[in-house]
């Protein structure tokens, strides 16, 4: 949502109408979009049910002959293939999502998803991979995509993500000035590999007093993670729940370290948002993280095991000087990324005679 909201804000500034196809009532929909069209009645509808609802309602949406459909999952393009006059179809690939589907839903479900993915790729006018690893992964599976898949990383709003006064930030979240705050910010889901983070934090606590692991977010793994933290006797693991969007820059500014140990990612915006707030990062080598933090002192890539992850966290937390990393994020500004995406829209529209 942060990706498409930021892109929509950029496009609206250039007087380009953006329409969000979503689920639930319009109340609570981000105002970053020109319009909202509800496809399913319930906001928490599952992806398969949303896909079926979109299939049923696709002909009545009246999106216009010159629309560009920009999906965030390949399978969501398939309902548009039934239209007599097919709009331009574009999809952003946020990592190897088909692997995530197989991992979370099983092989049978994964086969269905991959068939829909193949069908969408056959008919898509252009694909955007958020990092080079994602591009190479899909080209390995579908070599005939070469020439239609472009790498554009996710962008961030540098006006919103900037350093906030540290003392005030810590007071807001109840942290002491001497506390060492390790922050995870994201969904508490299986693919985030958070049991590893708890194990690494357990190792870290043997070497560093005053460390607190703050997990900001919610998800299906929350109950299991709380149980694991209790069984490991880790009272310094704090579950913060969902943090309001407006408070995230303050949260990042108040922490000492951002951590990410996912099994798979594309181009995680939280890494760039942290660095824009001068917060160092320790992450597994996933998505484009190694490329983003390359040459940035204080931020490191850790192996996906508790000993090395704990060691890299300790190194980051015992470094006295906090580096100014904000300037290194200028190339990931929403202005720069939005323009690259708009260039693709214009190219597609021109070739289609729009």
% of the chain at pLDDT higher than 70: 99
* Domain housing 119: 2-155+333-351
Q: Left if phi > 0, otherwise alpha if psi is -120 to 50, otherwise beta: which for 255?
A: beta
**Same domain (yes/no): 172, 318:** yes
| Phi, psi of 70, deg, nearest 5 | -115, 100
Binned at pLDDT 50, 70 and 90, residue 154 comes out as very high
Residue range 11-33: mean pLDDT, rounded: 87
**Same domain (yes/no): 322, 190:** yes
Residue range 306-321: mean pLDDT, rounded: 91
> How far from the centroid of its chain's Cα atoms is residue 232's Cα?
29
Query: Per the domain annotation, does 160 fall within a domain?
Result: no
Concatenated DSSP letters of 325-343: -GGGGGGGBHHHHHHHHHH
Residue 63's pLDDT is what? 78
Domain count, the chain: 2
CATH code for position 314? 3.40.50.2000
Query: Per the domain annotation, does 279 fall within a domain?
Result: yes
Query: What distance in Å separates the CA atoms of residue 340 and residue 152, rounded to the nearest whole number?
Result: 7
**Same domain (yes/no): 170, 304:** yes
**Same domain (yes/no): 119, 55:** yes
Summarised one tens digit per residue, pLDDT across range 197-209 is 999 999 999 999 8
**Same domain (yes/no): 337, 309:** no
Residue at token pair 């599976």: 141
Query: pTM above 0.75?
Result: yes
**Same domain (yes/no): 188, 284:** yes
**Least confident window among 101-105, 159-163, 250-254, 345-349:** 101-105
**Same domain (yes/no): 8, 66:** yes
Summarised one tens digit per residue, pLDDT across range 65-86 is 789 999 999 999 999 998 888 8
**Same domain (yes/no): 172, 91:** no
Summarised one tens digit per residue, pLDDT across range 103-131 is 888 999 999 999 999 999 999 999 999 99
Residue 235: Cβ within 10 Å count: 9
């Amino acid at each position: 949502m942060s990706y498409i909201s930021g892109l929509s804000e950029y496009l609206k500034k250039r007087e380009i109408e953006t329409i969000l196809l979503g689920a639930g009532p319009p109340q609570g929909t981000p105002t970053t979009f020109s319009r909202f069209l509800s496809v399913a009645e319930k906001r928490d509808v599952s992806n398969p049910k949303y896909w079926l609802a979109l299939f049923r309602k696709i002909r009545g949406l009246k999106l216009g002959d010159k629309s560009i459909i920009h999906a965030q999952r390949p399978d969501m393009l398939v309902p548009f293939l039934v239209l007599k006059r097919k709009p331009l179809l574009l999809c952003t690939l946020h990592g190897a999502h088909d692997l995530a589907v197989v991992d979370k839903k099983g092989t049978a479900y994964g086969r269905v998803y991959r068939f829909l993915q193949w069908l969408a790729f056959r008919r898509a006018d252009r694909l955007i991979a958020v990092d080079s690893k994602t591009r190479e992964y899909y080209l390995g599976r579908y070599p005939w995509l070469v020439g239609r898949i472009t790498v554009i990383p996710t962008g961030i709003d540098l006006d919103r993500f900037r350093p906030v006064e540290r003392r005030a930030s810590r007071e807001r979240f109840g942290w002491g000035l001497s506390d060492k705050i390790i922050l995870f910010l994201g969904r508490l889901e299986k693919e985030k590999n958070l049991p590893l983070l708890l194990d690494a934090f357990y190792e870290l606590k043997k070497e560093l007093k005053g460390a607190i692991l703050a997990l900001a977010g919610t998800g299906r793994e929350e109950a299991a993670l709380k149980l694991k933290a209790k069984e490991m006797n880790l009272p310094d693991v704090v579950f913060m729940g969902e943090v309001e969007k407006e408070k995230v820059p303050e949260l990042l500014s108040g922490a000492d370290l951002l951590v990410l140990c996912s099994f798979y990612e594309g181009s995680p915006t939280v890494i760039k948002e942290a660095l824009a707030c001068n917060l160092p990062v320790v992450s597994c080598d996933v998505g484009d993280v190694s490329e983003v933090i390359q040459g940035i002192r204080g931020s490191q890539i850790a192996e996906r095991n508790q000993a090395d992850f704990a060691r890299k966290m300790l190194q980051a937390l015992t470094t006295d000087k906090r580096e100014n990393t904000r300037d290194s994020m200028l190339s990931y500004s929403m202005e720069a990324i939005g323009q690259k995406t708009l260039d693709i829209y214009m190219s597609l529209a021109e070739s289609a005679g729009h």
